């Protein structure tokens, strides 16, 4: 009888043990979930820090191999000191772009005017067609970024900064620095080479120009990469990503 009287007690103890096990498992699962969440948050923070470090390193590399003085010069770039100076700089870019495009059209006309007997005529026409097809797509991107910049100069401080050699530089200013670098390529390479090709009308001069245009296209690609990776606040205000146009231009130049 005593044995049977103990059965309910055993059952109660078993139920209690089972409840304790379930509770322990639940607690262990909660702890594991908390640990996983913490690890995930830590990984996300590490990824964010790595991205920021990569962005800073890229900005430092892009702005030059100098020191903080270089960063200070970029931060204080003359064209960004006033809306008037910036507007004048933008107008200069527009003229430069128009002159380059006009120069390319002049080269195309000059090459087409060569006699069919010229052994290099067909190859030169092929090269000029490639450039003539690709360049408007690249200029679409550059013109778009310049136009956006003109309309958002007054609120440029609202788009955040990048630390470069310990100097905080506005992301807007870094973008303008990159666009200024493209201007240097046009002014110092593309325009002189296009004038030379128009005068000499030789295959070698067009091949040299083609190489310079490819370098310019790579520069436009880098600006677009910066827009995509580091200009989210500006993109939210209408700054455009021209990835499709640039990829098409690069394909045209192959």
Are the beta carbons of 164 and 67 closer than 8 angstroms?
Answer: no
Give the N- to C-terminal CA distance of the chain in Å, as an integer: 97
CATH number at residue 228: 1.20.120
Q: Is the pLDDT of residue 158 over 60?
A: yes
- For 191-211, the pLDDT digits (tens) are 999 999 999 999 999 999 999
List of long-range contacts for 72-78, beta carbons under 8 Å, 24+ apart = 72/167, 74/164, 74/169, 74/173, 74/174, 74/177, 75/167, 75/168, 75/169, 75/170, 75/173, 77/173, 77/176, 77/177, 77/180
- Comparing 53-67, 152-166, 217-231, the range with the smallest average pLDDT is 53-67
Tokens coding 112: 């087409």
Residue 114 lies in a domain: yes
Are the beta carbons of 228 and 243 closer than 8 angstroms?
Answer: yes
Q: What is the mean pLDDT of residues 235-244?
A: 97
Residue 140 lies in a domain: yes
Residue 32 lies in a domain: no
Residue 11 lies in a domain: no
List of long-range contacts for 74-78, beta carbons under 8 Å, 24+ apart = 74/164, 74/169, 74/173, 74/174, 74/177, 75/167, 75/168, 75/169, 75/170, 75/173, 77/173, 77/176, 77/177, 77/180
Tokens coding 135: 């360049």
Say what the pTM is. Answer: 0.70
- For 13-60, the pLDDT digits (tens) are 345 445 544 444 544 544 444 444 444 444 443 444 444 445 444 544
Question: The domain containing residue 132 runs over which residues?
Answer: 96-253
- For 60-88, the pLDDT digits (tens) are 444 444 444 445 445 445 456 677 888 88
Residue 149 lies in a domain: yes
Q: What is the mean pLDDT of residues 98-121?
A: 90
- Cβ contacts of residue 24 below 8 Å, gap of 6+? none
DSSP 202: -
Are the beta carbons of 145 and 153 closer than 8 angstroms?
Answer: no
Q: CA 167 to CA 174: how far, in whole Å?
A: 12
The total domain count for the chain is 1
Tokens coding 235: 């993109």
Q: CA 242 to CA 214: how far, in whole Å?
A: 17
Residue 169 lies in a domain: yes
In total, the chain counts a number of residues equal to 254
Cα-Cα-Cα-Cα dihedral sign, residues 234, 236, 240, 242: positive
């Amino acid at each position: 009888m005593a044995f049977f009287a103990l059965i309910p007690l055993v059952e109660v103890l078993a139920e209690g043990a089972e409840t304790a096990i379930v509770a322990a498992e639940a607690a262990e699962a909660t702890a594991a979930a908390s640990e996983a969440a913490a690890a995930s948050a830590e990984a996300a923070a590490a990824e964010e820090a790595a991205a920021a470090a990569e962005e800073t390193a890229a900005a430092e590399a892009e702005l030059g191999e100098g020191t903080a003085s270089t960063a200070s010069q970029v931060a204080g770039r003359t064209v960004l000191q006033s809306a008037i100076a910036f507007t004048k700089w933008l107008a200069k870019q527009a003229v430069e772009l128009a002159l380059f495009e006009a120069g390319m059209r002049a080269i195309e006309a000059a090459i087409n005017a060569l006699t069919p007997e010229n052994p290099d005529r067909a190859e030169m026409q092929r090269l000029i067609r490639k450039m003539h097809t690709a360049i408007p797509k690249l200029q679409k991107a550059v013109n778009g970024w310049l136009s956006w910049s003109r309309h958002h100069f007054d609120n440029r401080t609202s788009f955040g900064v990048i630390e470069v050699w310990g100097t905080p530089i506005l992301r807007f200013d870094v973008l303008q620095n990159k666009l200024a670098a493209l201007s240097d390529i046009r002014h110092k390479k593309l325009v002189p080479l296009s004038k030379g090709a128009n005068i000499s009308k030789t295959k070698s001069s067009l091949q040299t120009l083609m190489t310079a245009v490819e370098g310019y296209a790579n520069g436009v690609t880098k600006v677009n990469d910066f827009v995509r990776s580091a200009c989210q606040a500006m993109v939210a205000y209408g700054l455009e990503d021209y990835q499709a146009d640039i990829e098409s231009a690069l394909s045209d130049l192959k």
